[in-house]
Amino acid sequence: MIAIGSDHGGYALKEQIKKHLDELGLAYKDCGTDSDASCDYPIYGEAVARAVADGEAERGIVICGTGIGISISANKVKGIRAALCGDCYSAEYTRRHNDANVLALGARVLGEGLAEKIVDTFLSTEFEGGRHARRVALIAELEERERQ
């Protein structure tokens, strides 16, 4: 299951990515928004992040105009490693090295074709583990210390 959400700036791309997921036969939960009416990206970043953090979804996709505000928001939820990607290399390596569980996209930055390729790369790449698992564990420790 993939959780997907956007603000108004990412709404059109979210609908396009949903069609792409349909074509791939991948199940998703649409966490909103439901139109291109102006709304607040932290609400949708949190909704997707919670679905992933709670185990309802294995991965998340968040989209706003730049991808920045919604990725910052998603990263505030414990256990979330949201990565803003504007190219396939970053999408591959944030899975291989960071075990990123949420992909953030900037709808006003990316073309539709590139956005789909980034999604494909993110969803098909596995975490390498090894020395990278130690580093991801350090991120979790940092998160715990900040919450105390």
Catalytic residues: 64, 97
CA 30/CA 55 separation, integer angstroms:
15
SS3 at position 80: coil
The DSSP 8-state label assigned to residue 84 in this structure reads: E
State the burial class of residue 27 (Cβ atoms within 10 Å of its Cβ: 0-12, 13-18, 19+): exposed
Give the shortest CB-141-to-ligand RB5 separation in angstroms: 28
Binding residues (CB under 6 A) for ligand RB5: these are 7, 9, 41, 64-66, 68-69
Give the shortest CB-28-to-ligand RB5 separation in angstroms: 20
Query: Given the complex with ligand RB5, which of 39 and 99 has the nearer CB atom?
Result: 39
- Cβ 5 vs Cβ 58: under 8 Å: no
Give the shortest CB-74-to-ligand RB5 separation in angstroms: 12
**In terms of Cα–Cα distance, which of 20, 3, 22, 19 is closest to 63?**
3
Query: Given the complex with ligand RB5, which of 38 and 148 has the nearer CB atom?
Result: 38
